[in-house]
Amino acid sequence: MVTEKARSLIAAGQKDSFFVMDLQSVRDRVSQWKSLLPQVEIFYSFKTNSDPEIIKTMLEQQSNFDCASKEEIRTAIGLGVNPKNIIYANPCKMDEHLEFARDNGVNLMTFDCAEEAENIAQIHPNAELILRITVDDSNAPDPMSEKFGAHEDYWSNILDTCKNLGLRVRGVSFHVGSGGCSFVSYRESILNAKKVFEMAEQKGMQDMDILDIGGGFSMSSEHPENNFDVVAP
């Protein structure tokens, strides 16, 4: 269907570049996810494809959204996304962007260091924080742990800083790297996240109830053994 549509556009004289998407395929993938992992909520990454028709389709499927910038948040809200259904997934936020999130009711956000927590406390004290931790994503085509994520040595200090500042920490986040297909990475990352939850509990931090699993689930023709619908029957 997609190929036929593309050919028809070209035959009709379309000369500029264009994008063709089978929206029913998107709906089918969402339905598949919900049937296999009903306890896991979807936060669609805006940077993946922010075409308005896809965003509207994901809205119809009652998806949440992952935004990494002020402009992505602005676009999401403009398309009808409820700010409460957005996670501001950027550990390093400019003051102006934090103010924009605050003023537009976007409270859920990631961070990965005590300094960022201190800045959030000054600008957006009602934020609900997700601590991003570093993971082994060395097998991913685009690893990210060299840039983002708190190392285990700093977890305790970061949690103490948040507690002393009166900030609400809601959970833990990690990202196994763009295109990462190693299920070992997911397993090890979840086990590490469990350590943070246990550490927070020992510190009397009782609000943590979110595990943000980042990295996506690839559909690869080259490595079908790693495909979502194959490994989760």
d(CA 42, CA 216): 10
DSSP string for residues in the chain: -HHHHHHHHHHTT--S------HHHHHHHHHHHHHH-TTS--EEETTT---HHHHHHHHHTT-EEEE-SHHHHHHHHHTT--GGGEEE--SS--HHHHHHHHHTT--EEEE-SHHHHHHHHHH-TT-EEEEEB----TTSSB--TTTS-B-GGGHHHHHHHHHHHT-EEEEEEEE--BT---HHHHHHHHHHHHHHHHHHHHTT-----EEEEES-----SS-GGG-HHHH--
Residue 138 structure tokens: 């060395």
Residue 146 placed within a domain: yes
Domain of 92, CATH number, reads 3.20.20.10
d(CA 191, CA 183): 12
The predicted model scores a pTM of 0.84
Q: Are residues 80 and 24 in the same domain?
A: no
Q: Are residues 102 and 216 in the same domain?
A: yes
Q: Are residues 34 and 143 in the same domain?
A: no
Q: For residue 72, give Cα distances in angstroms to 101, 201, 225.
A: 11, 34, 33
- Could you give the strand order of the β-sheet that contains 128-132, starting from the edge strand earlier in sequence? 43-45, 64-67, 86-88, 108-111, 128-132, 168-175, 210-214
Which residue's structure tokens are 């980042």?
Answer: 214
Residue 57 placed within a domain: no
Residue 60 placed within a domain: no
Q: How many domains does the chain have?
A: 2
Q: Give the length of the chain.
A: 233
Structural domain boundaries enclosing 167: 67-231
Residue 50 placed within a domain: no
Q: Are residues 71 and 177 in the same domain?
A: yes
Q: Are residues 143 and 76 in the same domain?
A: yes
Q: Are residues 104 and 190 in the same domain?
A: yes
Which of 44-58, 65-79, 113-127, 138-152 is predicted least confidently? 138-152
Are the C-beta atoms of 170 and 210 separated by less than 8 Å?
A: yes
Residue 107 placed within a domain: yes
Q: Are residues 25 and 90 in the same domain?
A: no
Residue 52 placed within a domain: no
What amino acid occupies position 94? M
Residue 47 placed within a domain: no
- The stretch 207-228 carries a mean pLDDT of 69
Q: Are residues 111 and 185 in the same domain?
A: yes
Residue 197 placed within a domain: yes
Read off the pLDDT of residues 106-146 as tens digits, 9 standing for 90 and up: 999 999 999 999 999 999 999 999 999 987 655 655 555 56
Q: Are residues 33 and 74 in the same domain?
A: no
Q: Are residues 76 and 4 in the same domain?
A: no
Q: Are residues 115 and 195 in the same domain?
A: yes
Read off the pLDDT of residues 140-187 as tens digits, 9 standing for 90 and up: 555 555 667 899 999 999 999 999 999 999 999 988 765 556 677 778
Read off the pLDDT of residues 95-104 as tens digits, 9 standing for 90 and up: 999 999 999 9
Q: Are residues 73 and 136 in the same domain?
A: yes
